[in-house]
Chain A
Amino acid sequence: MLSSTGPLAAAESPFKKLVDFLFDGAPQPAAVDLVLPDELVLGENAGAQFRPLINRMAARELYFVEKVCQPDEAQMQRLKAAVVKAAGDLAMDYAKAEHAGRAPYQWTAPRPFLANAIAAAAEGVLAPEALARYRQEVDAREQASQDAGQRMIVRVIDRRVTLHPDQYQPLLEAVARDWKTEEYHGTNYFQYEEYLQLPSAETLTPILDDRQEKALRQATNYGRIHFGWDQEFGFNGWNDNGIELEDLEDLTQPADPQDLPEDSPQQEVSDESETVPVENPKDPLAAEDPA
């Protein structure tokens, strides 16, 4: 009486099956595992759940290029269009990665991705000196982040094995040589020492003595810890409310195609923009700040 057949039977509840069993319902067909096609999962709104945070990251990257290069309004519009497109591409990339079951630490790091999109868009838009300065600052920021992680790794090793003062610098240099950026993204990772991926034996053995290697083996390690994607890339709550660009339009609006950079590396500079190099960058918003 309550039975049904066909593919929809797979959606019936266990309670219904129990009732059917108790009251001589018709036998239920076997459930069919359904694999949702990509078209259903990665549709038009794929990655929408990632956009709010990606947009915030993108806004801060725009703030950064504005601070370093002081582009004019037209230049800023070109850069904004590029980062809006990049933000959309990144959200789709995350949707695909999530659908494929990849762990967040294997996803594309957002800040370098967005910064590279800005740098690519800035070719031919900004003066060469300004672009070089931006790339230098982006590289320095990335290097500082890696340096912070490397120092933390050495700190953990030192705490476990007690390094001789003369071992510290060689170990730091060895950790830097062995560094895999894709393994360490955000700062949260270094606050869970039992889950840290320490350098390889090939890296450590030449520097540590037998006592120290024994001490390292005795220390607890549970394997890699996995965070949600936001924490993986350093968003841990108190740094969510950072610099925002209130005067920009919603970054979810589709980019104007004519503002997007061309594929050719030799871009024609627009007559509307001025690519005057700025030798001594100042706070670009200082004149506008009412305070």
Chain B
Amino acid sequence: MNVLCTVRHRRLGRFSLLVLAVGGALLGRTACAQQVFQVDDQQLISWVFNNQQSIPDARSHLETRLAGHLEFVAVIGDLQPEQRRRLELAGQGDIARYIADAETLLSKLPRGNLDQDQWQDLWRRLSPIRERYARGLNGRGSLFDKALRTTLDPHQLETYRTLARERTARHYRALVGLAVADVEIKIPLTSEQRGRLIDALMTHTRPPRGQLDQHLQIAYVLYQTSRVPSEHLQPIFSDREWKVMQALLDQMRGWAGNFRQDESEDEEEDEVYVD
């Protein structure tokens, strides 16, 4: 009898465990259906400062980039110490301004467990400062850019702009080569076709302002290609190849919204970006 009771109690106990386990699993499943994101200070700093692990690291990285930019300006050959000092001060001002803005933003961002809506709102608030970092701190509207115009004499300024445009052209040539290699997966090209296509794109398309989202680099070139008048491109391809190319370009025209802010607005604009 005692043995039977013991067995029954053990089975009841285990059955209770089963009920509790199933109930808990159902509750957990309900919670998991709504995704939860855990966010801490370290992650926020990493997202704001382009994967740097701390604000001092970010500052050091930005100062290293500024030093590189100053070395680039010095290539013009006759940069005086006072000129360099003024440019460095201006660049430091841009860094200080950026870090102050970033710290202000960081102080206002939520931490802990975020639901889907909070997560999306977080990234919406992070995007402008991340984009600002990606584009570089010394571009149009920056203290450094203004200092360049007022510190360098006209000859120095023109030399600097020429060097910067050449650098931009080298960078864009790399993107164009990559985009053409991508097109060749679709349409096998001869050497002659490849050369003509690269020449046409370098002539009739424009590099982006500042820095693009790196994952959209090929898409940017192909979007630019979609805006080239067909008389510059069609003769490069056979009729059959052109039909395939047209379908691709039709698709890429739909990317206009992604790149509006990356396109130069003024054909005569004189500022150049050195990142």
Contact = CB atoms under 8 A, between A and B. Distances in A.
18 contacts: A18-B21, A19-B18, A23-B11, A141-B188, A144-B181, A151-B170, A152-B175, A159-B171, A159-B211, A162-B72, A194-B51, A211-B68, A218-B60, A220-B52, A239-B186, A241-B247, A286-B239, A289-B240
Contacts of B65: 162, 215
Given A218-B64, A234-B185, A243-B188, A187 B178 contact: yes
Nearest to B193: A67
Given A164-B75, A211-B67, A239 B238 contact: no
A154 B172 CA distance: 12
A132 to B, nearest CB: 14
Interface size for chain B: under 10, 10 to 19, 20 to 34, or 35 or more residues? 35 or more
Contacts of A283: 238-240
Interface in B126-163: 163
Contacts of A144: 177, 180-181, 184, 191, 194
A155 B171 contact: yes
A175 to B, nearest CB: 11
Given A22-B11, A162-B68, A162-B69, A141 B184 contact: yes
Contact of A22 (B14, B173, B178): B14
A263 B89 CA distance: 72
B174 A155 contact: yes
Contact of B218 (A155, A191, A286): A191
B262 interface: no
Contact of B68 (A212, A236, A286): A212
Contacts of B188: 60-61, 63-64, 67, 141, 243
Given A162-B65, A191-B217, A243 B190 contact: no
Interface of B is mostly: helix
Contacts of B21: 18
Contact of B238 (A24, A220, A285): A285
Contacts of A238: 186, 222, 248, 251-252
Contact of A24 (B11, B75, B247): B11
Nearest to A166: B75
Contacts of B39: none
B107 interface: no
Interface of A: 18-19, 21-24, 60-61, 63-64, 67-68, 136-137, 140-141, 144-145, 147-149, 151-152, 154-155, 158-159, 161-162, 164-165, 168, 186-187, 190-194, 211-212, 214-215, 218-220, 234-236, 238-243, 283, 285-286, 289, 291
Contacts of A19: 18
Interface string B216-231: 1110001000000000
A283 B238 CA distance: 6
B71 A164 contact: yes
Contacts of A18: 18, 21
A159 B238 contact: no
A178 B170 CA distance: 20
List 8 tightest A-B contacts by C-beta distance, closest first: A162-B68, A242-B186, A151-B174, A148-B177, A64-B188, A283-B238, A239-B186, A22-B14
B239 A291 contact: yes
Contacts of B71: 162, 164, 211
A158 B171 contact: yes
